[in-house]
Structure 1
Amino acid sequence: MAIDLENLKHAPKELGIHELIGKRWSPRSYTEQPVSDADLKTIFTAAGWAASSSNIQPWRFIVGRRGEETYDKIFDALASGNQSWVKTVPVLVASVAAKFMPAKDGEAPRPHEWAKHDVGAASATMCLQAIALGIHTHGMAGFDRELIRANFNIPEDFEPVAVWAIGYLGSPDALPDNYKKMETTPRERKPLDQYVFKHWNEPAKL
């Protein structure tokens, strides 16, 4: 029997959030269908229009397609568990954050305390633009940051943040059993009273 991933993974319509946000989730099963240059350009252009502290735009994205050396270098840095399902993903991306604010008037550069926040904002915007194009994404923390740094000669004033899979949704049946179970389990989110406060741990009345 076909699995209704829309009902399992999409946010309930009665929540009233935008359709793009409701449809965004992080699958592990992808087809090998390539993502076009035009769609990738649109996705990363959207990322570049995310909110950015002082408009510094500290994000960098290293993009590789299956069959390219860049893809292989990102793949090699992934944890083995991620490698087990990523094999069919057509695009892998490493996100990187600038660690320092631009120096002004000969001053020493100051640490950019909000850089990872801004890279996260750009990544979220990237994901929503992808969903608008019928493309899914999955962010991963399970990777070797120093291997990513070495593989791409990333300088010390930048820091690898995450790895992203980008591609078209595949069948859960293609996954190993443990990941298939995750793929077919309904998504849940914490209720607002657990993270929207009037005072610390005192829920806001919304």
Structure 2
Amino acid sequence: MLNPALVRRLGLIALAGFLLCFSGCLREETNGDIQTFTYPMWLAGVLVLAGGAATAAGYALLSSHEKPAYMLLIAGPVLVLGVAPSYFFYKTTVGPEELFSRNGFLGLGTVRAKYSELAEIKLTSIRSRRSTSFFLDCKTHDGRELTLRLNDEGIQGALPAFIHYARAKNILIVDQNGDPIKAQDAP
């Protein structure tokens, strides 16, 4: 059986790694007119280490504290296999031609908004009991709709450039009621 002090240390490492998921350490790079938002590689590495520490702590606690041990044995692999790779693949890019965002589980969720295809951008929101979520619903010339979630850190960082490039291409930007948003009122 492992030393209780070691188990506590492993638990603290796992907790620190989990809290890093919410740290907001987005990195911005500018190359000419193109801005790129990614998470640093060390973040995915720390999350893998934290998941490993959670798994080891869970295994060490298995004989004495079953419920917390099973929670750690589940959380550790989820952190290593689900959360860490998502931070590794995350990328949002905005430039004079398009906005591209790759996010979600293993980077499988993608959105590509090409200004040449956009007819209108509408600022919308959805209220729940606890919070309000904001979106940019982009309508294309052929009637398709793209939705950009404004609670995504990369999209938030890219938003000023996205609005600037959209205005330069004379794309109509409206509020929820369909009224045009003036440049000084832009989000």
TM-score, with structure 1 as normaliser = 0.24
Question: Which has more strand, going by share of residues?
Answer: 2
Question: Which has more helix, going by share of residues?
Answer: 2
Q: Who wins on radius of gyration, i.e. which is larger?
A: 2
